[in-house]
Amino acid sequence: MVTEELAGSTENALYRIEVPDIIPMHTDVDETYQKVTFSRTVALEELDAELISLNHPLVQALVEYCLDGDWIDGQAAGLVAADSAVTPGLLLTYRLGYISGDGEVPTEDYTRVYVDTDGTIREDVPDIVGALPDALATAHPEAYDAAKNVSSAVEVSTEQAEHVVAEFVKDIHADRQQDVEIKEKHAERYFQEKIREFEDQLRKYEIEEKDTEKDMRVNIRSTRAKLEDVEQEWEEEQERLERERMVVPDEPELINAAVVTGKIPAVVADAATTPSEQRKAIKTAAEDEVTFMHSDDLENIESLATRPARLFRAAGLAKRVSHLTRQEIDGVSVYAENETDLAYTVGEIRSFYEQMDSLLEEIGSECTPAVCVTDEPVEAVHQNGEILFNLDLADDVSASYWRVVTARETAFADKELPAERRIQRIRELLG
C-alpha cells in the first residue's frame, strides 16, 4: 500500500493512499483515497478530509485480508518463534469490540494472547520468524504438546482477552463521552434556535390576532404543531445521545489460534536432491526429507555440514557475523575475523563469489553476494543488502544446499514480506 504525505506536520498530516489491487476486489474499498487523516482534530478542521479510523472500510478490509488464511500457501496452522525458550505454546487472536446503547456493535481492535504448554499466559508475544503450512505444522514434533492443551489455553486466554477489552472500553467510553458532549452542544444549539424561532413566530401570530382581530387560528395551530414536533425531536435526540454515551464490552471473539514452536523446519539438500523434490517435500512435509531442529542443535560449522538446510533463520544468526571485519579482495566483499590471516587464495575467494553470484541471479534475488569466513554455525546470512556466504562450507555442502539457504535469506531480506508468507516465497525461489 502506497501512502503519500500531502501536507501538514507529522501529527496533523493529510495523506493520499493507493490501495493494493487485491484489497478492493469484492469489497467497498476505493482504489485510491485522495485526502485522508488519522486525526479527529484534523478531520474537524479540514471539512473535505476523510478520517481513517479502525471502523473505516479500508481498515476493516485490510484486517479481514490479513486474518484470512487462504492467502497463505496452505493454512498457517503453526508459527515458528525466534526464541525457542518460550515455546511450545499457542498464540490466539481475539477480535475486541463493544456494544453501544444505540445497538451498534463496532469492532475496534484485536489482541493476541500467548499461552505456553503449562497454561501460563506470557506477557510478551514471541517474535515470529515464519509460518508453517498445515502439513508442516501437523508433522511438527511439538505440535501435539501445544495442541493437546488447547481447551485450557482457550479458557485462560479468553479471560485475558475479556480483561483487555474491559480496559479498552474504558478508553472508548472516555472518547465516546467527549464525542457525545460535542454532539450535544451542536444539537442543543440547533434545536434551541429552532424552538425560539417557532416561539417567536407563535407570539407574533397571537399578538397580531389580538391587535388586529384577524383570524390567526390556522397559523397559530400550525406553528404550535411545528413547535411540538421540534420539541419532540429534541427530546428524542437527547435520548439517542444518551444511549450513544453508553458503552459496554462485547464478548471477545476468537479469530484464530496457532501452535508456536521454536524448532526450525529443515529440508534434505544433498547432491542428489533436486529443487522440485525439495518444493514437494516442503509442501507435503515428507517424513524422510523434512526434519525440525533447535538453533542450539548447531554448535559449530562442522555440525552444519551434517544437517539438512534450515528453511528459517536461527535466532541470533546475524549477530554471529556482526563482529567480522570487512575487507575488499579482488573486488569482493570479504568478512573475516582477521584481515591478514585468511586461509584462502584470491582465486578461491573469487571462484566462490562468482558461484554464489550466479545462484542469486538464477533464483531472481536482488541481493548482492559477499563472502564470510567464520567457524560459527552460519551458512548464509543477509545484512544491509548483502548475503554473506560462508566460504568455510564451500567444500562440505552441495549446490542444492546453497540454493535452499540462498532462497531463505532472499525471503528474509524482503522487509515487506510478512513472516507468514516466507515459506511460500522460499518454495517459489527454489524454482
- The pLDDT value recorded for residue 68 is 54
CA distance 62 to 303: 43
- The pLDDT value recorded for residue 76 is 46
Q: Which of 14, 43, 67 is the last residue of a domain?
A: 67
Summarised one tens digit per residue, pLDDT across range 46-66 is 878 888 876 678 877 776 665
Handedness of CA 215, 217, 218, 224 (dihedral sign): positive
Nearest 5°: CA angle at 9, between 5 and 11?
95
CA distance 65 to 23: 7
CA distance 327 to 331: 10
- Asked if residue 209 is part of any domain, the answer here is no
Identify the residue with better confidence: 144 or 111.
111
- Asked if residue 126 is part of any domain, the answer here is no
Number of domains within the chain: 2
CA distance 229 to 198: 11
Q: Which of 67, 88, 122 is the last residue of a domain?
A: 67
- Asked if residue 285 is part of any domain, the answer here is yes
Residues 6+ away with beta carbon under 8 Å from 124: 114
For residue 163, CA distances in Å to 96, 123, 154, 277 come to 11, 13, 14, 48
- The pLDDT value recorded for residue 257 is 84
**Helix then strand then coil, % of the chain, to nearest 5:** 45, 25, 30
Which CATH number does the domain housing residue 46 bear? 3.30.360
Say if residues 250 and 98 touch (Cβ distance below 8 Å). yes
pLDDT grade, residue 199 (50/70/90)?
very high
Partners of 122 in the beta sheet? Answer: 114
Q: Which of 145-159, 297-311, 354-368 has the lowest mean pLDDT?
A: 145-159
Identify the residue with better confidence: 40 or 423.
423
Eight-class DSSP state of 137: H
**Length of the chain measured in residues:** 431
Q: Over 90: is that where the pLDDT of 165 sits?
A: no
For cell 498464540, name the residue. Answer: 91
- Asked if residue 90 is part of any domain, the answer here is no
For residue 45, CA distances in Å to 102, 176, 284 come to 27, 19, 56
- Asked if residue 374 is part of any domain, the answer here is yes
Q: What's at 404, amino acid-wise?
A: V
Summarised one tens digit per residue, pLDDT across range 9-24 is 545 678 888 887 656 5
Q: Which of 15, 44, 67 is the last residue of a domain?
A: 67
- Asked if residue 54 is part of any domain, the answer here is yes
- Asked if residue 101 is part of any domain, the answer here is no
Q: pTM for the full model?
A: 0.67
- Asked if residue 241 is part of any domain, the answer here is no
Range of the domain at 372: 263-429
